[in-house]
Amino acid sequence: PNFLKEYHQKRSPNIAMIFSSKKDLEFLTLQLSQLDLPVLPQLAGSLGKIQEIFLNEKKSSISPILLVTPHVWKNFAYQEEIDTIIINKIPFEPPSDPELMALSRNYENSFMELSLPRAIIEIIKIINRLQKNKKSSKKVIMIDPRLGNRQYGDTIIKILNSIAPTNIVRLQKLLSL
């Protein structure tokens, strides 16, 4: 939360943070609201209501931090207004998902052959939606420590490097870039 507050103040007011779980979204919404940060969580209402609030607050130059899940981000009409996306965690589907459980029976290593590729595709979709407007520079920040300390993190980074230059940095260094 403190990093997000400082980043919002110093670097980019137009931020969307993508959560793979509503539980994490609810938790951070509470923490950020206690820091007096302008947040617009998907918990505030329907997609139409969120978009209406976003437009009204943009007009008054408040620039709230949009807090949403990938599904809401996919349907958010004002993606071009966002300069920075922060992806909270690699968007793996829950292992208890019935479709994933059924599909995983067809694989020897279902995590590497099914779950990881599906998560990478979801990351690419999130990034591609941000990059609709190529005229301005956009940033994607992934704050999942598994990128740096799990073997599959290298796989994700290699694929992301094929889209755009990718660096692993500590959060504090991000504030000085």
pLDDT digits (tens, 9 = 90+) for 42-70: 998 999 999 999 988 877 777 889 999 99
Sorted by sequence, the CB contacts under 8 Å of residue 140 that are 6+ apart come out as 84, 85, 86, 87, 126, 127, 130, 164
Please compute Rg for the chain using Cα positions: 17
Question: Is the distance from CB of 140 to CB of 167 less than 8 angstroms?
Answer: no
Measured CA to CA, the distance from residue 177 to residue 167 in angstroms comes to: 12
Give the amino acid at 75: N
What confidence tens digit (pLDDT) does each residue in 68-126 have? 999 999 999 999 888 889 999 999 998 899 999 999 999 999 999 999 999 999 999 88
What confidence tens digit (pLDDT) does each residue in 114-170 have? 999 999 999 998 888 876 655 567 888 888 889 888 999 999 999 988 887 777 777
What is the model's pTM?
0.85
Sorted by sequence, the CB contacts under 8 Å of residue 16 that are 6+ apart come out as 65, 66, 67, 68, 73, 76, 79, 82, 84, 85, 86
Query: Inter-axis angle of helices 151-161 and 116-130, to 10 degrees?
Result: 40
pLDDT at 176 over 70: no
Measured CA to CA, the distance from residue 15 to residue 83 in angstroms comes to: 6
